[in-house]
Amino acid sequence: MKRIKKALSVLLCLVTVSAMLAACSNGGTDNVGENTSPSTKEEQTTAINQPTSEADTTQSITEEQAGTTEPQKEEESIIPLFPAEIYDQVHTLSPEELLVNSNYISLFKAYDSGKTIDTVTYELGDTKIPLFTTEFIDRTFEINAQEQDGKSITLTALYFDGAIKGLQDDEDLVIAGFRGMTDNGEEVHIYSFLPLYYNQTKKCFFGYGRREGQYILCEVFFSGTEELNFVRQAVEDASIYGF
């Protein structure tokens, strides 16, 4: 019996020692699943301080975009000289239809500028031709010479001849061209031309010009001479203007 009690005492001691050793190996803490070894803490700290791969990607994309800004597209320098709502009509109606005085006034929202030019003698007496304009052409345009040699001319506005009330009919009158005023007050005349766009990069007009009895899509430049004339250059690829 004494031997049995002694054996039990030894077994109890061994169990107690094992429990103490187990507690020491856990660092004396009761937090289940927490690893507090020094190496693990370093790894956790490093992982917290490092940016995530997503942040790295976002940052690199932002830096790349900032360093690779695309130049302005040529299309963005093409300025329409008509209301946006008539885009389809401008690109589908014939130039002959667009040039009818009444059609142009209605579609392009033209109005009497209050200015007149040229004294004309009729049976009813002398009168002056009224000049019409629109909010899209009543502005300043710089037109380069065709040779691109640095010469240019500045027009302060564009006008077209309106019908003389009582003597002419808007329905029958066809616009023959556009007049302009230079910045020093000289008058210029762009004959047989309907401006539809202003190309801010080339500094020229684009539209319908009459050549040999037919209208063609062309760009209009300053002649670069003292006569203040303009030259028309046929456009083979008018896609940047929507044609």
CA triple 184-190-193, angle to 5 deg:
150
- pLDDT for residue 169: 79
- Residue 53 in domain: no
Say if 31 falls within a structural domain.
no
Q: Considering only CA atoms, which of 192, 182, 190 is closest in space to residue 156?
A: 182
Pick out the chain residues at pLDDT < 70.
1-75, 121-125, 148-150
| Residue 214 is assigned to a structural domain of this protein | yes
The answer to whether residue 135 is domain-embedded is yes
Is residue 42 domain-resident? Answer: no
In a domain, 50, yes or no: no
What does the pLDDT read at residue 184?
82
Ramachandran angles phi, psi of 46, nearest 5°: -65, -40
- Domain ranges, residue 224: 74-241
pLDDT of residue 18: 52
The pLDDT assigned to 125 comes to 67
pLDDT, residue 30, reads 40
How many structural domains is the chain composed of? 1
**Could you tell me which of 178, 180, 217, 213 has the C-alpha nearest to residue 199?**
217
Residue 66 lies in a domain: no
Report yes or no: 185 and 179 within 8 Å, Cβ to Cβ.
Answer: no
What string of DSSP letters covers the chain?
-HHHHHHHHHHHHHHHHHHHHHHHHTTT---TT----HHHHHHHHHHHHSPPHHHHHHHHHHHHHHH-PPPPPGGGGEEESS-GGGHHHHHHS-HHHHTBHHHHHHHTT-EEEEEEEEEEEETTEEEEEEEEE-TTTSS-EEEEBTT-SS-EEEEEEEEEEPPPTTT--TTT-B--EEEEEETTS-EEEEETEEEEEEETTTTEEEEEEEETTEEEEEEEEE--STT--EEEEE-S--GGGT-
Domain assignment present for residue 63? The answer is no
